[in-house]
Structure 1
Amino acid sequence: MRGLLRLFGFLCAMTALPAPAQILDFENLDGWDGDDHRAALVSFLETCDLLTAPDWVPLCRLAADANKTDASARAFFELFFRPVIIGPPPALFTGYYEPELDGSPVRTPRFSWPIYRRPPELQDGQTFYDRASIENGALRGRGLELAWLEDPVDTYFLQIQGSGRIRMPDGRVVRVGYAGRNGFAYKSVGQEMIRRGTHRPDQVSAQEIRSYVRQMGDAGLDLLNINPSYIFFRKLADLPAEKGPIGAMGRSITTLRSVAIDPAYTPLGAPVWVEKNGDNPIRALMVAQDTGGAIKGPQRADIFYGTGLAAGNAAGTVKDGGRLILLLPIDRAYALLPEG
């Protein structure tokens, strides 16, 4: 779900975004006073040095000095940024996480579902084999298997999340991350279930998709194949256990402080204020450090909930409205307003 984009200069040099913009005051942000602004600044600093546009570079230098207290972090954001709404709310917030799965470096009777490394001939943007073809053996016998998992549904959702931790039989934990995709656009299995009339929109969640596909057996696996998009992985050998998975900027993302966005509207690396409603509302400053095939539009964000089963359970039920508010350097923010 998360690609290593090399578009930082272009994305961060944008002076106008292709949607209506509205500038707010910080006092208009619901819950702003109660957030942990220093935690957001720590996440911002993880990728700040990758922002090379002239208006970002000095801010990133100042950010390091502001990383002392919550008060200094809050003052940094309020002094040098303005909140901007791009596109009309309501937003759509979903959640994602880093799975932890049992696996094997070789195929066994228990572990028989492969995840593949990127084929060497696959070029970015190229249309390759679709999901059904790969699942039916298009890559079999080429030695591209990175690891073997025990469940086809877990294998599918590992691709949706784009990263994971695989526990090998000897106790080793292998971190894997996104290495490329097959060039097909993502198609939602949940939307297909609604279209077929088996589920109402309010019934669809990651947990329900898992349960339904498993109940359906081979027909359930065929349902997964309506999504032609397929993700390839790579081993992340040097990623410390305490760090989050690698996002679209090539750096670790942070639990409940990183979001995946549509970079056509929200520059990668920019702070974003999240007002997520629903059963477990969130009011927090996060950083746009990831992307995803299903994350499209100016008011669309996928919140990173962390690693493991509990994070997966929390992320899998999120489908909430609210507002997504972008924090931009002052001159850049006002440049978005129409003249006159």
Structure 2
Amino acid sequence: MNNIIPTLCLGLGFAFYPTQMMMAQQLPLRQVNPTEINTIWSEDEQLWGTAENPGDKWSLIRAISYSLRYLDTPKAAEVYENYPISGITRDRVRRSLIRFKELLKTAKTPKALQAAIEKEFTLYQSVGHDNQGTVHFTGYFEPVYTASRQRTSEYRYPLYLEPKDFANWKKPHPTRLELEGKDGLGNNSIIRGNELIWMRDRLEAYLVHVQGSARLKLTNGETITVGYDSSTDYPYVSIGKEVVNDGIFALNELTLPRLMEYLNANPEQLSNYLPRNNRFIFFRETDGAPPQGNLSVPVTAERSIATDKSIMPPGALALIKTPIPYLTKTGEIEAKLVSRYVLDQDTGSAIKGPGRVDIFMGTGKEAGDRAGLISNEGQLYYLLLKN
């Protein structure tokens, strides 16, 4: 994401995205001609599952319920009042979700569900970053790390609470270097005394800034969750992009695991690259709550996406087509082209234009490994009732 603000998706910061190319005043979505639908449609296999692997229909239904919760808020009414595409209204999005949820519960087969959708729904395709429908997909996740309530010789790298006087800080705000120091310890920082938690690894602490939330296993046996509270007023800078610009990796060979491997092997480079991203995140404890997107509802693994909410319909039902990494029976990760129904429930400061989508992959190491490998092209469609 991608340092996604103000949400969990503060992340994906290590992907290097293609330049967004959008014509002036070009609408972000185009209505799909009914004759095209059969050429773009394919079954959401994970929805139905197999004899060996049960499907996740009920997690999708739960994600739909979260979107419906958002659509009932005054904020949603305000956002949709000014939505730029004629015919896409809060009421239509809401009715579409209700009807799709009914179809999910009653359809006996994938073919029956598809037939009902073709009959009752209109598809709108994102014009993408090339005005030809090409969308770049990345992934984000909720990491799980160890941490301590107290600073020790092992746990030295803090995450910070928002300072009480933050609203009165003069702009431009202090840089990351000024706030946490070249070594990341923040010994002489103006935010010293606002430490929320202490982490063992500097790169892990930075990744919590990138992802925007984390589940932390404390040294006293307690497990807590932390999430985004506020941030300084700088644009997000991807250190993955910086590494590519410096010639360390070619763009086509960079993944989050490879970047982490490089920085762990060359820890002195943390002081070189981390300060290049001046956007600094302040956190709060979230009392065990699941990670949330910018709609203030939980995000669901592989069923929630982040898009540019200035142009895409918040909370809406979508269909994505793109390769996603999956764990094989032998423990390896390989990409598989999939179609998946998802809910548009998040955003991010690096998610700009109609050609960017971030997929929430879940919590923990496996989710992180998979998210870090997603950097693929694909298509994005929204599903809305015909009337």
TM-score (norm. length: structure 2): 0.74
1:215-234 map, 5 Å: 215-234=265-284
2: CA distance, partners of 1:216 / 1:145: 27
Q: Which ranges in structure 2 are unaligned for 5 or more consecutive residues?
A: 8-24, 49-56, 72-76, 78-89, 325-334
Q: 2:252 aligns with which of 202, 207, 211?
A: 202
Partner of 2:218 in structure 1?
168
Q: How does 1:137-148 map to 2 (within 5 A)?
A: 137=186, 139=189, 142-148=192-198
Partner of residue 28, structure 2: 19
Q: Which of 215, 235, 242 is the matching residue for 1:192?
A: 242
Asked whether 1:36 is paired with 2:86, we answer: no
Distance 1:188 1:86 in 2: 24
Question: In structure 1, how many angstroms separate the alpha carbons of the residues matched to 2:362 and 2:371?
Answer: 9
Q: Which moved more, 1:204-213 or 1:167-176?
A: 204-213
Establish whether residue 266 from structure 1 lines up as the match of residue 312 from structure 2: yes
In the alignment, structure 1 residue 110 sits paired with structure 2 residue 154? yes
Select 1:90's aligned residue among 134, 138, 145. 134
Q: CA deviation at 1:280?
A: 2.8
Question: Are positions 1:55 and 2:92 aligned together?
Answer: yes
- The answer (yes or no) to whether the contact 1:117–1:144 under 8 Å persists in 2 is yes
8 Å contact kept, 1:122–1:128: no
**CA offset at residue 48 of structure 1?**
1.3
- Larger mean CA deviation between 198-207 and 21-30 belongs to 21-30
Q: Distance in 2 between matches of 1:124 and 1:275?
A: 45
Deviation at 1:231, TM superposition (A): 1.6
Residues 30-74 of structure 1, C-alpha deviation per residue, up to 9 Å, x if partnerless? Answer: 324646284433312112122243333444555665563455976
Of 27-36 and 310-319, the range deviating more from structure 2: 27-36
Offset, 1:249: 1.0
CA contact (8 A) 1:36 1:70 kept: no
Q: Which amino acid aligns with 1:327?
A: L
Report the TM-score, using the length of structure 1 for normalisation: 0.83
Aligned alpha-carbon RMSD (Å): 2.8
1:284 maps onto 2:329 in alignment? no
2:11 is aligned to none
- Asked if 1:130 is matched to 2:170, the reply is no
8 Å CA contact 2:305–2:344 kept in 1: the answer is yes
The 2-side partners of 1:221 and 1:105 are apart by 25
SS of the equivalent of 2:348 reads coil
- Structure 1 window deviating more from structure 2 (55-64 vs 192-201): it is 55-64
* Paired positions, count: 317
The alpha-carbon distance between structure 1 residues 80 and 269, as it changes in their structure 2 partners (threshold 3 A), is: farther
| Alpha-carbon shift at residue 103 of structure 1 (Å) | 0.1
Per the alignment, in what secondary structure is the counterpart of residue 162 of structure 2? coil
Task: Measure, in 1, the Cα distance between the counterparts of 2:63 and 2:114.
Answer: 14
- Please state if 1:157 is matched with 2:202: no
Q: Which amino acid aligns with 1:187?
A: V
Q: What stretches of structure 1 of length at least 5 have no aligned partner?
A: 6-15, 332-340
**1:68 correspondence with 2:105:** yes
The match for 2:84 is none
